[in-house]
Amino acid sequence: MGICDGRVVIVTGAGRGLGREHALAFAAAGAKVVVNDLGAGLDGSNTGEHPAEQVVAEIVAEGGEAVVNGADVSDWEQAKSLVQQAIDTFGALDTVVNNAGFLRDKMLVSMSEDEWDNVTRVHLKGHFAVLHHAAAYWRAESKAGRARAARVVNTTSGAGLFGSVGQGNYAAAKAGIALLTIQAAAEMGGYGIQLNAIAPSARTRMTTSAGESMASAMAAPEDGTFDAMHPGNVSPLVVWLGSAECEVTGRVFETEGGKVTVCDGWQRAGTADKGERWKPEELGDVVPRLIAESPEPVPVYGAR
């Protein structure tokens, strides 16, 4: 009996990296897993590969239950079919882990419209599309008197929380995902749906240096020390957030190695209220004082 015994879980982008580890961890915890992966390259290009099949084979070899799904999560109808496949195959849906995404890094001044649109489409719209169709199912179940302990785990990033030089498209999409999580938690709680997000730090295709194979990057340290950057370290939190035991919603967690940190979003800090309209010249003294009274922001990754 695992913490997710009998639950039906969708993991997007589950062919490699973090998603693969999440799928394997859910299966080990007793869940039936829909392993979604488009087989795209790091930049979103079609590689013709089918890594989701390998993940399903691993789960089945260990006695678990899993099926392959190759949907593009940013396509509205394909996202709907992904949710429906879970219901048709396993009779229900309990948890969605939105993880799929890719990179097209450029400085903003050099970034093309397509590079902006494609990254925001897959990350932000991809999260929303799957969430929308899953939530529609859960709402219908709730109204029919069959409310489920529905859970959603979204994937934001430190780049989305604090910014990252050269990743404006990715950072903006991930920032949107963080707030989408908080927004959806406020809207969907009445149907038994709980939503949280993680901002993981781990070694994946996105972070592995050029020329370094994933096989070598994923190898355990020869001296037996704890590998803090292994993506599998992130999955226990994801599995707990996706379980019926979780009673937390609308929060964002940064996770790396053995460390879990709650990250707060925008908070009101220093304030001044004149009680009437300000004159522009008055604010030259007021704004610096308010900034001095407020916490220092976390520096943007890569900023000088």
Question: What are the residues whose beta carbons fall under 8 Å from the beta carbon of 92, sequence distance 6 or more?
Answer: 8, 86, 148
Give the lowest-confidence range in 5-9, 107-111, 197-201, 217-221: 217-221
Q: In Å, how far are 219, 220, 230, 232, 258 from 226, measured between CA atoms?
A: 12, 9, 9, 12, 9
The pTM of the full predicted model, rounded to 2 decimals, is 0.91
What percentage of the chain carries pLDDT values higher than 90?
87
Say whether 193 sits in a helix, a strand or coil. strand
* pLDDT the model gives residue 214: 47
Amino acid type, 231: P
Whether the predicted pLDDT of 61 surpasses 60: yes
* pLDDT the model gives residue 211: 44
The position carrying tokens 């910014």 is: 163
* pLDDT the model gives residue 1: 75
* pLDDT the model gives residue 288: 97
pLDDT in tens, 218-272: 555 667 789 999 999 999 999 999 999 999 999 999 999 999 999 998 999 999 9
* pLDDT the model gives residue 222: 64
Stronger pLDDT, 42 or 272, i.e. the higher one: 272
Which residue ranges make up each domain of the chain? 8-263
Average of per-residue pLDDT values in the chain: 92
CATH class of the structural domain 8-263:
alpha beta
Query: How sure is the predictor about 204, in pLDDT bands with cuts at 50, 70 and 90?
Result: confident
Stronger pLDDT, 254 or 48, i.e. the higher one: 254
**Could you list the active site residues?**
157, 170, 174
| Burial grade of 2 (CB within 10 A; 0-12, 13-18, 19 or more) | middle
Report residue 249: phi and psi, to 5°.
-150, 150
* pLDDT the model gives residue 2: 95
pLDDT in tens, 74-105: 999 999 999 999 999 999 999 999 999 999 99
Average pLDDT over residues 117-136: 98
* pLDDT the model gives residue 199: 97
